[in-house]
Amino acid sequence: MSYQLLKTRLSPPVEAGRLLSRTRLVELAAQVSRHKLSVVQAPAGFGKTSLLSQWCQVLHDEGQPVGWVTIDSSGLDPIDLLAYVAAALGRALPDSAGSFNALVESRRHQTPEGMTTALVNLLAEISRPVILFIDDLHFLPDESVSLLGRFLELAPRQLSVIIASRTHTNLGLATARARGQLLEINMDQLRFTADETRAYMAESGWQNLAADDLGLLETRTDGWITGIKLASLALRHSGDSSSLLRDYSGSHQDVSDYFAEQVLSIQSDRVQNFLLKTAVLDRFSASLCDYVLEIRQSRAVLDEIEHSGLFLVGLDNERQWYRYHPLFRDFLRRRLQDSGFESSAALLLRAADWFRQKEQLVEAIECALDAGYPGRAAEILETCSQDWTYKGRIRLVMKFVERIPLQELQQYPTILLTWAWHLMRHLRFEQAQELLVSVRRRMEDWENISTIPAVDLDQLRHQLLHREITLAASLDDPITVEQKCQELLGHAHHDLHPYLLGSVYAQLLYSQREQFRFEDIETLAAKAKGVLQRSGYDFAMIAALAVIGTSQFAMGRADAAIQTLEEAMATAVRYGSERSSLMALPGLPLAAILYERNR
């Protein structure tokens, strides 16, 4: 137990430079005085001390008595903690300073319980409200935290306490929360908004920073105040702000040093190992971490990390999914790379397996690609590219196709056929033709591979014929379209995927319309709509209705055509938006019909 109090612990720290006034948070000072307990909890560098200092100044200027205690890394035992609390209250209440100071002087003869009782009794004799700030509570040992919780439970209502901590406090907050006596401020509220980032950079001499550069800074730092301050300092030594901010990451020397000294070094070996290995994941759950790290205690470690107030961001209210702050994640990934621990590739491959088992295939493909295994990514993409395309997500398929080498893609016909379809939509017919020819040539090889089930080969033939039909329609060749539609319907009518069957009916309808053969148009329209309505593929329904509507107009049924095209427009809006490219399919012919009718 220390017998002399440090006066520097009894005043807010003096920060270099002027504090940015954060009106939206400073205005909460009025609420602070109305709550018995206020807790500001966030990781290091989020401006907790700065906010408490501003609150303290605002309340002091309003004439309210305020006291301050800073806990440092040496911690405080229970008696010393109460001594500092008594000294701070004595400063806040000069008329009662003698009583509080006497308690401080007698502390060497007190027990924690006796001193708690004496302090509570002194406060009970004071009629006016008093506010006590306690900064950096995370440095307190558990026994002192428990005593503080007991003191807060017994303290009279005229005492309001404001606490700042990196960690979640063990003060038993549930009762205060239930009674409406607790005000909580967390990382989400503390992070700089875009306007605050802009204001801070302007006050730091970067008034002319381009909007794009500010956007980069906001994205890189995710509102982390110390990260923004370090970026501001780094800009002074850089001749190219855009380049620096584009490359600004957790590997930047100043940022890396901060995380190493203030965050990682004070964690246990178990937590450090967990942080480094899970940083390869963009988002994670306890179950995923167990699988990737081949352990069984990830839930307990995540609880420990969350309690410690590290740079962990919850992604749902159930505390199932998390991510790390972007700069902290970058720092950890670099540390893993330099550490010689297990390679990130092995960790990511296990993550890909887990996501695949859970049918979260986008994440599975991303992990395989990030691991440097495009073949594994292509293998997964082959299983879902058809369904994604039928649901209007062909752009997602192509996003991954662009990241996989051609030699890997050549082994996966469904991906190639999807690619060909994408090329047709972008009027690149020659390249689409080349892909279709390549797939047809290779069909013979696949037919001779006994490991490929016959049903899968049949599905490939159906897809290939469908793409050839689509290409012929794109090239305005209705005769070929009709021939291939009849071929596909003749050989596989009952085995066709519903999307393909509805699409084939629509293409057959188109081909007959273009040949001015209208006798089967209504029958084909009913078949196309019936199949697609039962299948639930709205994406295909939009295109089919566009074909049906234009065919009805060609038959002289303008009112029916307008009704059909308006139905397609409504479906397109539900599926996407009024500005989506899907709207053009029914929108353009509808505009032409309305123009013809002077509407």
Over residues 176-189, mean pLDDT = 87
pLDDT of residue 454: 62
pLDDT of residue 74: 81
How does 152-181 read in b/e, with b if 16+ C-beta sit within 10 Å? Answer: beebeeebbbbbbbbbbbebebeebeeeeb
Domain of 354: which CATH number? 1.10.10
- Residues 151, 33 within the same domain: yes
pLDDT of residue 39: 94
Pairing relationship of beta strands 37-41 and 159-165 according to DSSP bridges: parallel
- Residues 41, 167 within the same domain: yes
pLDDT of residue 310: 85
- Residues 218, 322 within the same domain: no
**CA 186 from chain center: how many Å?**
18
- Residues 131, 214 within the same domain: no
pLDDT tens, position by position, 442-451: 887 777 765 5
pLDDT of residue 452: 60
Helices (H), 62-111: 78-92, 97-105
Least reliable range by pLDDT among 34-48, 104-118, 136-150, 447-461: 447-461
Q: Decide which of 147, 170, 190 is a domain's last residue.
A: 190
pLDDT of residue 2: 47
Does 413 fall in a domain?
Answer: no
Does 441 fall in a domain?
Answer: no
User: What's the CA gap between 361 and 384, in Å, rounded?
Assistant: 8
- Residues 176, 306 within the same domain: no
Please give the residue that has the higher pLDDT: either 327 or 495: 327
How does 110-129 read in b/e, with b if 16+ C-beta sit within 10 Å? Answer: bebeebbebbbebbeebeee
pLDDT of residue 18: 56
Confidence tier at 583 by pLDDT (50, 70, 90): confident
Does 452 fall in a domain?
Answer: no
**Residue 587 reports pLDDT greater than 70:** yes
Quick count: other Cβ atoms within 10 Å of Cβ 260? 12
**Residue 464 reports pLDDT greater than 80:** yes
- Residues 358, 267 within the same domain: yes
Q: Decide which of 190, 206, 224 is a domain's last residue.
A: 190
**Residue 285 reports pLDDT greater than 60:** yes
Please give the residue that has the higher pLDDT: either 572 or 375: 375
**Residue 1 reports pLDDT greater than 70:** no
Tokens of 14: 């003096």
User: What's the CA gap between 531 and 506, in Å, rounded?
Assistant: 11
Does 470 fall in a domain?
Answer: no
Please give the residue that has the higher pLDDT: either 416 or 199: 416
Q: How far is CA 251 from CA 259, 329, 344, in A?
A: 10, 10, 16
Does 385 fall in a domain?
Answer: no
Does 436 fall in a domain?
Answer: no
**Residue 514 reports pLDDT greater than 50:** yes
**Residues β-bridged to residue 159:** 130
Confidence tier at 174 by pLDDT (50, 70, 90): confident
- Residues 279, 243 within the same domain: no
User: What's the CA gap between 236 and 230, in Å, rounded?
Assistant: 10
Domain hosting 216: range is: 194-248
585: Cβ–Cβ under 8 A, 6 or more apart, which residues? 542, 543, 546, 568, 572
Tokens of 212: 């794009």
User: What's the CA gap between 573 and 314, in Å, rounded?
Assistant: 33
**Residue 455 reports pLDDT greater than 70:** no
SS3 404: coil
**Residue 276 reports pLDDT greater than 80:** yes
CB 540 within 8 A of CB 580: no
Q: What share of the chain is helix, strand, coil (3-state, %, to 5)?
A: 65, 5, 30
pLDDT of residue 537: 78
In terms of phi and psi (left: phi > 0; alpha: psi -120 to 50; beta: otherwise), the region of 172 is: left
Confidence tier at 246 by pLDDT (50, 70, 90): confident
Domain of 499: which CATH number? 1.25.40.10
Confidence tier at 163 by pLDDT (50, 70, 90): very high
SS3 540: helix
Q: How many domains does the chain have?
A: 4
Please give the residue that has the higher pLDDT: either 485 or 449: 485
- Residues 47, 125 within the same domain: yes
Closest CA to 496 of 525, 470, 535: 535
Pairing relationship of beta strands 130-135 and 159-165 according to DSSP bridges: parallel
Global confidence as pTM: 0.76
Closest CA to 223 of 191, 187, 258, 196: 191
The secondary structure of 477-500 as a DSSP string is -HHHHHHHHHHHHHHHTTTS-HHH
Over residues 215-221, mean pLDDT = 87
Closest CA to 372 of 341, 343, 336: 343
pLDDT of residue 15: 64
Does 507 fall in a domain?
Answer: yes
Tokens of 367: 């992990």
pLDDT of residue 278: 96
SS3 457: helix
Over residues 458-464, mean pLDDT = 89
Does 492 fall in a domain?
Answer: yes
Q: Decide which of 372, 395, 426 is a domain's last residue.
A: 372
User: What's the CA gap between 31 and 38, in Å, rounded?
Assistant: 9
Question: Please, is 75 exposed, middle or buried when counting C-beta atoms within 10 Å of its C-beta (0-12, 13-18, 19+)?
Answer: middle
- Residues 157, 305 within the same domain: no
Q: Specify the residue for token string 């797939």.
A: 439
The secondary structure of 118-161 as a DSSP string is HHHHHHHT--S-EEEEEE-GGGS-HHHHHHHHHHHHHS-TTEEE
Over residues 58-73, mean pLDDT = 92
pLDDT tens, position by position, 17-63: 556 777 888 888 888 888 999 999 999 888 899 999 999 999 999 99
The mean predicted confidence, pLDDT, of the chain is: 88
- Residues 104, 221 within the same domain: no
Least reliable range by pLDDT among 115-129, 363-377, 452-466: 452-466
Q: In what order do the strands lie in the sheet with 321-324?
A: 284-285, 321-324, 312-314
